[in-house]
Amino acid sequence: MLQLPSLKIADTCETRFILFDDLKLLWMEARGANTVEDQSPEPESSVKHDNGSAGRGEKSHENIDDGNMAADTPVILVVDANVRHLHREKLDQVFPAKSTRYFEVPPGEESKSVATWNRIIDFAFSGPLRRNTPLVAVGGGVTGDLAGFAAAGLMRGLPLYHIPTTLLAMVDSAVGGKTGINHAFGKNTIGAFYHPKAVLFDTAFLDTLPQREWLCGISEVLKYGYIADPRLLDQATTLADPASRSQNLLGEVIEQSVRIKSEVVAEDARESGRRAWLNFGHTFGHALETQDNYCNINHGEAVYAGMIAALCVSRKLGYNVSDKPLLEMKNTYQLDLGAYTSAVDRLVTLMTQDKKNRDNSIRLVLVKEHGRPCLHPVNNRNLLKEAWQYTFKALS
């Protein structure tokens, strides 16, 4: 069992990262560390639908446990439906039916919607629920973002635990406290910052991960290579190939990725400055996902293309950076963007609607050289159009 340094944010939130062991042991460790003696009165918002009783008192601080972890009420487990099907035996051993309420999330980006979020809220209130009832998210980025947003809203904050089951979630989305759902206006435009108590990494879940989903995580590792640790560029290329993949390398890459992200988040929890670096490639990528209506291109593929476009802008502004490590993986990703080549103007317009923008500028994360990112406002639509055109041509 490997534990990274905890993520601590302004002494108000702490997330523990527990890596690479049996899920049952990880859950026992995480739950045990966050169980304290209940010395306080019954919290307000304690809901028991069998008798309609409510407790007393109120705490408004986000993400605080009110005593014991609701041992007398079931854990709410929000799980990707595919993960539940593939890993039912493992999950049932750790979260038996007698002490767990299962909510299955249909796989796919379309589940990150107001409708699914509302179903989770209704489900939570349909049975025993207290303010210290743990909510556990088991799945990839979609499930984690959706369940995290539900945890943030229920009772003004239930204790949240992430069990990421995709490489993308392990290296990125389960770390850092961003939660949210999509809207027609754009990706992740409704959400909250809400940090989990712990993130439990059982890499056995990755044994059933399809190659296309594996590459989604590789995109985020490549991102870290460009903005923080250039060694990850070669390591990501090695991990992308099933023939050269090793458990030791996988562990090293996950650990380094989590360290990079948690260090950035600890310094800038709400993305007022340095944390924006983590969006390298994402402003372009989110526009592509929105144009695609979240149907044919997944998040990692969009970010992969978005990084190529962002590097193009970086070079045009005089920075010394190469996209060779990305283009060498062109045949691995096999990304067909032919249907979007006529939508360049629309893609640029979508970029102007990005939630990270300020005033009339598009805030792009660029790279001065490998490992040195910067935040650069861009107003030149022609420059962005050229970047899209370069990307389409490079990947054709």
Q: What angle do CA 236, 241, 242 make, to 5 degrees?
A: 125
Beta bridge partners of 64: none
Question: Choosing from 59, 90, 119, 156, which is the catalytic residue?
Answer: 156
Question: Choosing from 82, 101, 195, 271, which is the catalytic residue?
Answer: 271
Question: Choosing from 16, 101, 131, 178, which is the catalytic residue?
Answer: 178
Q: Are the C-beta atoms of residues 298 and 141 closer than 8 Å to each other?
A: no
Question: Choosing from 282, 289, 301, 370, which is the catalytic residue?
Answer: 282
Q: Are the C-beta atoms of residues 152 and 124 closer than 8 Å to each other?
A: no
Question: Choosing from 63, 132, 279, 298, which is the catalytic residue?
Answer: 279
List, in order, residues 6 or more apart from 371 with CB less than 8 Å away. 226, 227, 228, 229, 230
**Catalytic residue at 271?**
yes
Question: Choosing from 261, 289, 298, 370, which is the catalytic residue?
Answer: 261
Give the 3-state secondary structure of residue 91: helix
Question: Choosing from 275, 289, 298, 301, which is the catalytic residue?
Answer: 275
Question: Choosing from 109, 213, 220, 289, which is the catalytic residue?
Answer: 220
**Catalytic residue at 48?**
no
Structure tokens at 178: 């961003």
What secondary structure, in 3-state letters, does 16-57 show?
A: EEEECCCHHHHHHHHHHHCCCCCCCCCCCCCEECCCCECCCC
Which alpha helices (H) appear in the chain, and where do they start and end?
A: 23-33, 81-86, 88-94, 114-125, 141-153, 167-168, 211-227, 231-240, 247-267, 282-291, 299-316, 324-327, 330-333, 344-352, 381-394
Tell me the HSE value of 361 on the side-chain side, using a 13 A CA sphere.
8
**Catalytic residue at 299?**
yes
**Catalytic residue at 183?**
no
**Catalytic residue at 370?**
no
**Catalytic residue at 178?**
yes
Give the 3-state secondary structure of residue 214: helix
**Catalytic residue at 261?**
yes
Question: Choosing from 101, 131, 286, 370, which is the catalytic residue?
Answer: 286
Question: How far is residue 359's CA from residue 178's CA, in Å, rounded to a whole number?
Answer: 23
What secondary structure, in 3-state letters, does 159-175 show?
A: CEEEEECCHHHHHHHCC
Q: Are the C-beta atoms of residues 78 and 151 closer than 8 Å to each other?
A: no
**Residues annotated as part of the active site:** 156, 178, 220, 261, 271, 275, 279, 282, 286, 299
